[in-house]
Amino acid sequence: MAKLYFSYAAMNAGKSTLLLQAAYNYRERGMRPLLFTSSLYAKDDVGLISSRLGISEAAELYADGDDLFQTIRDHSDAAKVDCVFVDEAQFLNHDQVWQLARVSDRLRIPVMCFGLRTDFQGKLFPGSSELLAIADVLREIRTICSCGAKATMVVRQGMDGRVLTDGNQVSIEKSVYLSLCRRHWEEAVGRWPVKGP
């Protein structure tokens, strides 16, 4: 039976690398994967999933109002789709996560989503929140903090290197993010030491 998967991590854990490797494995076996990424990552209206390792692949773009169930059904009607891969899944909205669940339930196509769990303020992204609630399989992809502990949080740094604690949830400039363990994140954003009465 097809399932909805959510693989999540902090920044720079290798999510896109794993997605591209899995898509390659499908192709190597003569199967057809269908890749999606957020329109926030469009370059001249072209979708591209890129890994820090230097590999990349073209992908369909999705935006906030898109009906992913219908888009995938249209692709499937044209030629069999063996698996759907979604990069930057944190940017999906509530309805789109349910549309992807219907792809696995009704079209019987596995859907593998990859994305961040939390933003730089330690809050869940909408797409991640819904995926954590309804995905059949949850997988944490691990990366490490500079102290060697598991990194689960990210901070956003300004151009001056200072840690930002407010602002828009979405900023796609990857170079301004740093993955930290919870302890070092709390120190970086000024939540520790706690100032009491």
Residues known to be catalytic: 88
Q: Which residues does residue 37 pair with via DSSP β-bridges, in sequence order?
A: 61
Judge contact between 128 and 117, C-beta under 8 A. yes
Cβ neighbour number for residue 123 with a 10 Å cutoff: 12
Judge contact between 125 and 91, C-beta under 8 A. yes
- Count CA atoms within 13 Å of residue 132 on its CB side: 14
Structure token digits, residue 176: 């301004």
Q: How far is CA 183 from CA 13, 37, 68, 117, 157, in A?
A: 18, 31, 38, 17, 17
Structure token digits, residue 7: 């693989």
